[in-house]
Amino acid sequence: MATYSYEENPRLSAHFCAREFRCKCSSPHTFQVSEQLISMLERLYTALDCGKIIVSSGYRCAAHDKAVGGNGAGQHTKGTAADVVCYDKSGGIISAKTVCCKAQDLGFGGIANITSAYTSVHLDVRTGAKWYGDETKGTNTVTSDFYRYFGIAKDSKDSRKAAAKGIDVSKHQGVIDWEKVKASGQVDFAILRAGFGKESNQIDVQFARNYSECKRLGIPCGAYWYSYAKTAAEAEQEAAVCLSALAGKQFEYPVAFDIEEKESLQNADALCQAFCSALESAGYYTAIYTFKSALESCIGDNVKKRYDVFLSHVDVSKSSYAGNYGLWQYSWKGSVSGIVGDVDLDYAYRDYPAIIKNAGLNGFAKSATTTPAADTGKDTLDTGKDTDMLGQILQHVASIDEKLNG
């Protein structure tokens, strides 16, 4: 939990700055923001493919919390909650019904619709019992499943058309004829092994060439690092070598932590968090690659919700893995023109190039976005009322980036 003075405004993540979360009362006091809350809001941003998320209420002092109808000791007073309005890339508000369902998928501990117009949502990262509420109907839990509550059908990932089809390769595919790969029409993206282990001489011998050829031919690519780590410290060492291999390059797809070794899986959560945190701190969009069985028995729910999953479940027409995943390796025995022998085949279920480029991750500069609305000059927004809050948000959104970065 980080604490900030009233005037502090560091950037907390790709889309959020500290000032967005300070208390809306008239007293210029310190405020707190949970790092886990920021991380989860970023994941929501990605999952909804947002154009913007406006925080209408973040941290609240006890007095302000009571003034807007709280009990003075809730999640807002701990810096673990935010009331938000989510916008799509055309500037339209994403329904709170959709936001609640997606927040449920991501694992927020507290979720509630808070306006009768379904414009605003309360989100928090409480631990313990979940609170899935609808404040237009009181403050109690109203459901255990927002999909059922709102009458929204939940998509089955395997029943949807994949966003893109790809391959993942390493030195084991030898010297690839990438021009033939490109011409085949079989490959929309490639995930390249950057290396393995913790030594500086363990960068994949084909990585530089594979990357250069993908860039030359316009094949979007990501990367993965095969782990032999047994401890979090070793995973951090692996991350450091991986970062040296990635330096100066741009990746349209995630950088995956490949955890398969038996001894590594015995400490999987700690290793995943150590490696992925190091990569995220350096500005990379990360994922965890492993087998269906390992995801089900070795990796905790918090880790699977925190990072994208690159699922390996081969030789099946439809995966029976019940969790969420953004990438699926569905075959180890693919055949692609330009590659001698077998190659792994993958599906991507998200538009990773758009997500990553818009967020300014993986070596890309952050995309600028604008919204045609007038600025009122107000620096804060109040919460707790349906009346005029939406109008304030719409007026405020045009200049929020400039103010938060100023």
> Across the chain, what does the average pLDDT equal?
86
38, 110, 115, 131, 267 from 121: Cα distances, Å: 15, 10, 8, 13, 36
pLDDT > 90: percent of the chain: 66
Contacts of 7 (CB under 8 A, 6+ apart): 28
| Distance separating alpha carbons of residues 2 and 18, to the nearest angstrom | 10
Residue 392 has pLDDT above 90, yes or no: no
DSSP state of 78: G
Other Cβ atoms within 10 Å of 366 Cβ, number? 12
**Residue 366 pLDDT > 90, yes or no?**
no
CA torsion, ordered 318, 319, 322, 328, to nearest 10 deg: -120
Q: Would the pLDDT of 160 be above 80?
A: no
Residues 232-266 pLDDT 10s: 999 999 999 999 999 999 999 999 999 999 999 99
Most confident option among 28-42, 128-142, 386-400:
28-42
Tokens 């480029």 belong to residue: 357
133 and 176 share one domain: no
Are 201 and 330 part of one and the same domain? yes
Are residues 23 and 142 located together in one domain of the fold?
yes
Same domain, residue pair 263 and 330: yes
Same domain, residue pair 302 and 238: yes
Residue 101 in domain: yes
Q: From CA 303, how far away is CA 305, in angstroms rounded?
A: 5
Can you give the pLDDT at residue 389?
32
Please check whether residue 385 lies inside any domain of the structure.
Answer: yes
Confidence of residue 356 (pLDDT cuts 50, 70, 90): very high
Give the DSSP H/E element, type plus range, for residue 131.
strand 131-134
Residue 342 and residue 248 share a domain: yes
| Chain segment 19-65, per-residue pLDDT in tens | 999 999 989 999 999 999 999 999 999 888 899 999 999 999 999 99
Distance CA 20, CA 63 (A): 19
Tell me the pLDDT band of 406, cut-offs 50, 70 and 90: very low
Burial class (CB in 10 A: 0-12, 13-18, 19+), 360: middle
Q: Residue 89's pLDDT band (boundaries 50, 70, 90)?
A: confident
- CATH of residue 376: 3.30.1380.10
Does the pLDDT at position 396 exceed 90? no
Q: How confident is the model at residue 159 (pLDDT cuts 50, 70, 90)?
A: very low
Residues 190 and 135 in one domain: no
User: Could you tell me if residue 364 is inside a domain?
Assistant: no
One domain, residues 173 and 266: yes
Residue-wise pLDDT for 259-284, tens only, equals 999 999 999 999 999 999 999 999 99
What average pLDDT does range 104-123 have in this prediction? 92
Confidence of residue 147 (pLDDT cuts 50, 70, 90): confident
Domain for residue 225, yes or no? yes
**Residue with more model confidence, 19 or 404:** 19
Q: How confident is the model at residue 161 (pLDDT cuts 50, 70, 90)?
A: low
| Contact between residue 343 and residue 169 where contact means Cβ atoms under 8 Å apart | yes
Whether 365 is in a domain gets the answer no
Average pLDDT over residues 305-333: 89
Contact (Cβ atoms closer than 8 angstroms) between residue 25 and residue 58: no
CATH of the domain at 354: 3.20.20.80
Q: Which residues have C-beta within 8 Å of that of residue 364, sequence separation ≥ 6?
A: 250, 356, 357
Residues 17 and 87 in one domain: yes
Whether 370 has a pLDDT exceeding 60, the answer reads no
C-beta separation of 351 from 326 below 8 A? no
Number of domains, the chain: 2
Q: Measure the CA–CA gap between 252 and 70, rounded to whole angstroms.
A: 43
Residue 58 in domain: yes
Rounded to a whole number of angstroms, the distance between the first and last alpha carbons of the chain is 24
**Per the domain annotation, does 16 fall within a domain?**
yes
CB atoms within 10 A of CB 63: 12
pLDDT above 60: residue 394: no
- Residue-range definition of the domain harbouring residue 88: 2-150+370-405
- 304 with 395, same domain: the answer is no
Q: Determine contact, residues 327/287, Cβ cutoff 8 Å.
A: yes
Mark whether 293 and 212 lie in a shared domain: yes
Over residues 313-335, the mean pLDDT reads 87
Band of pLDDT at residue 381, cut at 50, 70 and 90: very low
- Average pLDDT on 139-152 reads 86
pLDDT for 400: 30
Q: Look at phi and psi of residue 144 and say left if phi exceeds 0, alpha if psi is from -120 to 50, else beta.
A: alpha
Query: Where are any strands of DSSP class E within 157-259?
Result: 164-169, 189-196, 221-226, 255-258
**Residue 249, CA atoms < 13 Å, CB-side half-sphere:** 28
Q: What percent of the chain has pLDDT over 70?
A: 88
Are 351 and 279 within one domain?
A: yes
Distance of alpha carbon 327 from alpha carbon 122, whole angstroms? 29
136 located within any domain:
yes
pLDDT higher than threshold 80 for residue 388: no
pLDDT at 367: 61
Give the per-residue pLDDT at 368.
52
Residue 196 has φ and ψ, to the nearest 5°, of -160, 155
